[in-house]
Structure 1
Amino acid sequence: MPQARPLSRSECHALLSSGVAGRLALSAPDGPHIVPLNYSVVDGAVVVRTSPYSVLGTHGRDALVAFETDSFDPDRREGWSVVVRGRAEVVRDRGQLDAIRHHWEPQPWASGARSLVMRIRLDELTGRRLGREPEPGPRVGEDQAARRDDVARSA
């Protein structure tokens, strides 16, 4: 049976930067919630867009949250998981919002207005891999740049 091994911070960052969707866990007055959403990694933070009236927009502001993204191959029994834990903060600064849009603004898959931009800084970043080592691939950031270009072409 394969052993799980911890990932280095740079491995975690590379895998996190290669993803497009994850799950954000937060606590609300009615209990814990796990919110699936898409994201981008910009300037050392996971960036998401949500509705100001969603569970995340209502109860996630300045709250301690956990964000997780992963990839698994059940047939091979291998995969990886990366977790970011930190405080979710609303991005209000016009210059920071412009920088996020310039880099690659998250494009929500669900319908509806998603005008609230939030981020979780990569202060606590951990991960682990189960199974064989990955094949060499793109460098950190190349995957998101390619996705940004794909989104721009399809718009």
Structure 2
Amino acid sequence: MDRDNRVETLSEAECLRLLGTVPIGRVVYTEHALPAVRPVAFEVGPDGRLLLALDAGAAVARALDGTVAAFQADRLDPVTGTGWSVLVHGRTETVRDAVAHGHPPLPAPRPTVPAREQRLVRLAPELVSGHRLLPAVRPVRIS
């Protein structure tokens, strides 16, 4: 941890634990040879894989079948200037017949994607990194 810049590096286990505390993150993928970012509802499975809820008809759902993608989520407090950010890279795969495999529909970001139009994509983490932004340390003043 470097107190000068207030940033602490997080372990992979802590990153996955923190991801489980927020319902929405951002998936980063390639669209027309350019990086694209989309907010998505997600959950962290017991095996550490992420399950992303996407609109089945959206281009992102098709783009994330069998590709490498990144996923980022955070929780930052603008008042205290503290929080955390986690970044996950890995291979994605569409979950075929999700309900039959025990995956009920996930709550989706606004606008709501009805369950019948939802496609679940699993992201298997290969690289996981995260950082916590700590409170500023005030210098001690000696009179």
C-alpha separation in 1, matches of 2:98 and 2:67: 22
| Residues 120 and 14 of structure 1, relative CA distance in 2, 3 Å threshold | same
2:32 is aligned, of 12, 18, 29, to 29
1:49-83 Cα deviation digits (max 9, x unpaired)? 21232121121211111100001112211110011
| Residues 91 and 33 of structure 1, relative CA distance in 2, 3 Å threshold | same
Alpha-carbon RMSD across the aligned residues, in angstroms, is 2.0
Residue 119 of structure 1 and its aligned partner are, at CA, apart by: 0.9
Specify the alignment match of 1:131 in structure 2: 134
TM-score by length of 2: 0.79
Specify the alignment match of 1:45 in structure 2: 49
Letter in 1 for 2:124: R
Correspondence 1:108 to 2:81? no
1:24-56 Cα deviation digits (max 9, x unpaired)? 110111522100111111132111121232121
C-alpha separation in 2, matches of 1:73 and 1:128: 14
1:97-137 Cα deviation digits (max 9, x unpaired)? 31x22xxx4211323443311010123211011114xxxxx
Match runs of 1:73-92 below 5 Å? 73-92=77-96
Q: Quick check: which one's helix share is greater?
A: 1
Give the percent of matched residue pairs that are identical in Structure 1 and Structure 2.
Answer: 26
Residues matched between the structures, number: 128
C-alpha separation in 2, matches of 1:64 and 1:119: 11
Q: Quick check: which one's strand share is greater?
A: 2
2:120 is aligned, of 105, 117, 127, to 117
TM-score by length of 1: 0.73
| Residues 95 and 53 of structure 1, relative CA distance in 2, 3 Å threshold | closer
Unmatched segments (≥5 aa) in structure 2: 136-143
SS at match of 2:20: helix
| Residues 48 and 92 of structure 1, relative CA distance in 2, 3 Å threshold | same
C-alpha separation in 2, matches of 1:12 and 1:83: 8
Larger radius of gyration: 2
| Residues 20 and 94 of structure 1, relative CA distance in 2, 3 Å threshold | closer
1:97 is aligned, of 88, 95, 101, to 101
C-alpha separation in 2, matches of 1:108 and 1:94: 15
Q: Verify the 8 A CA contact 2:98 2:120 in the aligned structure 1.
A: no
SS at match of 1:57: helix
